[in-house]
Amino acid sequence: MNKNSSWLAPDWPAPDNVFAATTLRGGGSSLAPYESLNLALHVGDQEEAVRQNRSLVKAMLNLPGEPKWLAQIHSDRVVDAASVDLPEPADASFTDQAGIVCAVMTADCLPVLVCSRDGQKIAAIHAGWRGLLAGIIGNTLAAMRTHDVLVWLGPAIGSSSFEVGAEVREAFTAKSDSYCLAFKARGNGKWLADIYQLARLELAGLGIAQVYGGGFCTVAEQERFFSYRRDPATGRMATLIWRT
């Protein structure tokens, strides 16, 4: 894993023609409270600073093109990244074309990267609990038309920080009793949810065994990650994937 202060590389056995990264919060030009590598235009940061940060990331990662940014809406909607010209209302994108950069932005929600074993198909998924509940991962695999994939779970809120109401747990356990494993009682009708476990359970139900990553906590690791739950006025990291 890359130790650079501006990005980290997924630790997964992706094919040699597949490249991926998650940006961190350091090394950019945004001022407080967005310091410093904020990549989101919708959070109140200065547009010029965000544009500079996006240019920096493109150069830093040697991206083959401009990332296909989405207008994320906590949905189950998946789009073909090659057809996205403007920010598209969706929470995942996929492609089978070289030179297309799939991207999602997060600051506590779970970024999920997917690549086929042959390196021909890739996808990036924004998986908050609402998206996971709606089946965003399954929809993405259906759009990719393959389940022969590798999956990486990027930086998200940790299980010790993700407090939810009983209604969230009930919504998941109504789908399957197996989701009980992802919740721990906290008292007063509140539960601690493990978003990584929620994703792994969905992936297991889809027959996906090769799952990597997890173990981060965007709330606790303040120096590396933006966190909306910790700091309501804050920036966003990007998780990107592309292929040659």
| pLDDT tens by residue, 102-120 | 999 999 999 999 999 999 9
- Number of residues in the chain: 244
> Would you call 197 helix, strand, or coil by DSSP?
helix
Q: What is the pLDDT of residue 109?
A: 98
- Asked if the model's pLDDT at residue 83 lies above 90, the reply is no
Average pLDDT on 161-171 reads 97
Q: What is the pLDDT of residues 228-241, one digit of tens each?
A: 999 999 999 999 99
Q: Phi, psi at residue 47, to the nearest 5°?
A: -60, -40
- Asked if the model's pLDDT at residue 50 lies above 70, the reply is yes
Residue 238 domain-assigned?
yes
Residue 79 domain-assigned?
yes
Q: What is the pLDDT of residues 125-162, one digit of tens each?
A: 999 999 999 999 999 999 999 999 999 999 999 999 99
How many angstroms separate the CA atoms of 24 and 81, rounded? Answer: 23
- Asked if the model's pLDDT at residue 180 lies above 50, the reply is yes
Residue 214 domain-assigned?
yes
Residue 105 domain-assigned?
yes
Residue 200 domain-assigned?
no
Q: What is the pLDDT of residue 84?
A: 76
Query: Do the Cβ atoms of 90 and 75 come closer than 8 Å?
Result: yes
| Percentage of the chain lying above the pLDDT 70 cut | 98
Q: What is the pLDDT of residue 241?
A: 98
How many angstroms separate the CA atoms of 120 and 166, rounded? Answer: 41
- The 3-state secondary structure of 164-177, one letter per residue: EEHHHHHHHHHHCH
Q: Which residue has the tokens 């908050």?
A: 128
Q: What is the pLDDT of residue 1?
A: 41
2 pLDDT band, cuts 50/70/90, is very low
> Would you call 163 helix, strand, or coil by DSSP?
strand
Long-range contacts: 126-131, Cβ < 8 Å, 24+? 126/70, 126/72, 126/74, 126/91, 126/92, 127/91, 127/195, 127/199, 128/74, 129/164, 129/168, 129/193, 129/195, 129/198, 130/74, 130/75, 131/74, 131/75, 131/76, 131/91
Eight-class DSSP state of 220: T
The count of domains in the chain is 1
Residue 171 domain-assigned?
no
Residue 168 domain-assigned?
no
Task: Kindly state the tokens that stand for 101.
Answer: 């950069």
Q: What is the pLDDT of residue 121?
A: 98
Q: What is the pLDDT of residue 4?
A: 61
Q: What is the pLDDT of residue 85?
A: 75
- Asked if the model's pLDDT at residue 11 lies above 80, the reply is yes
Domain of residue 128, residue span: 8-156+207-243
Residue 63 domain-assigned?
yes
> Would you call 244 helix, strand, or coil by DSSP?
coil
Name the strand (E) or helix (H) holding 59.
helix 47-60
How many angstroms separate the CA atoms of 222 and 120, rounded? Answer: 36
87 pLDDT band, cuts 50/70/90, is confident
Task: Kindly state the tokens that stand for 231.
Answer: 């700091």
Q: What's the mean pLDDT when you consider all of the chain?
A: 96
CATH number for the domain spanning 117: value is 3.60.140.10
Q: What is the pTM of this model?
A: 0.96
